[in-house]
Amino acid sequence: EIVLTQSPGTLSLSPGERATLSCRASQSVSSTYLAWYQQKPGQAPRLLISGASSRATGIPDRFSGSGSGTDFTLTISRLEPEDFAVYYCQQYGSSSMTFGQGTRLEIK
Amino acid sequence: QLHLQESGPGLVKPLETLSLTCTVSGGSVATYYWSWIRQPAGEGLEWIGRRSPSGSTDYNPSLKSRVSMSVDTSKNQFSLKLNSVTAADTAVYYCAHWNYWWFDPWGPGTLVTVSS
């Protein structure tokens, strides 16, 4: 099973700042099979990025994804108040899916 | 546009079977892949399993011996059964559409508590 490790666990930033979230895999993952989700309190996760770098429908362009192999990054270029939430990466491989443990993005 | 809604008992006794249903609108349950994912309070997401349109299933190895998934095309529903539950199975349970290699959309989730 591929383990995804997200860092940092918590990221404290102010609106307007840039956020960089990391997702590291225990073995190589095809970029096609890497996704990012946003989850706000009391809500289901929402797909942000699929295929490592493709924004889902309706996702603002301040969200971007990059990476390959074992290292992937979600970047939020300029934080809006509504962006403070928990973010998860997810991978698919060998008919199984795993999630990272999440990064909590909080207002500083 | 797909819309999903979970339903089922909010309280299940230890060692009994947890049964949840996901009602799908905006598309046929027979056409797509479906998954269940759960999240204990304050914790991360755990994939439970998925079912293909052909009926094949893949389950999380840690839950495989206790899980089954099925569809009811007459009601356009997708179901989860988890046997022999314990307190460790207490979580919010989400159904989701498995779209190629990711989950989208998700249902709002339903809380299931395992307690006597």
pLDDT digits (tens, 9 = 90+) for A13-25: 999 999 999 999 9
Query: Residue B58: pLDDT band by 50, 70, 90 thresholds?
Result: very high
Distance from the A8 Cα atom to the nearest Cα atom in chain B, whole angstroms: 15
B34 min Cα distance to partner chain A (Å): 13
Residues of A in contact with B104 (CB under 8 A): 47, 50, 56
Contact (CB, 8 A) for A67 and B31: no
Amino acid sitting at position B25: S
Beta-bridge partner residues of A91: A34, A98
Q: In degrees rounded to 5, what are phi and psi of residue B107?
A: -75, 170
pLDDT-flagged residues of chain A (< 50)? none
Q: How far apart are CA B49 and CA A106, in angstroms?
A: 31
B10: which residues sit within 8 A by CB, 6+ positions away? Answer: B110, B111, B112, B113
pLDDT of residue A20: 98
Going from the C-alpha of A105 to that of each of A21, A40, A77, A108, B116, the distances in angstroms are 9, 10, 14, 9, 37
pLDDT at A93: 85
Which residue type does A24 have? Answer: R
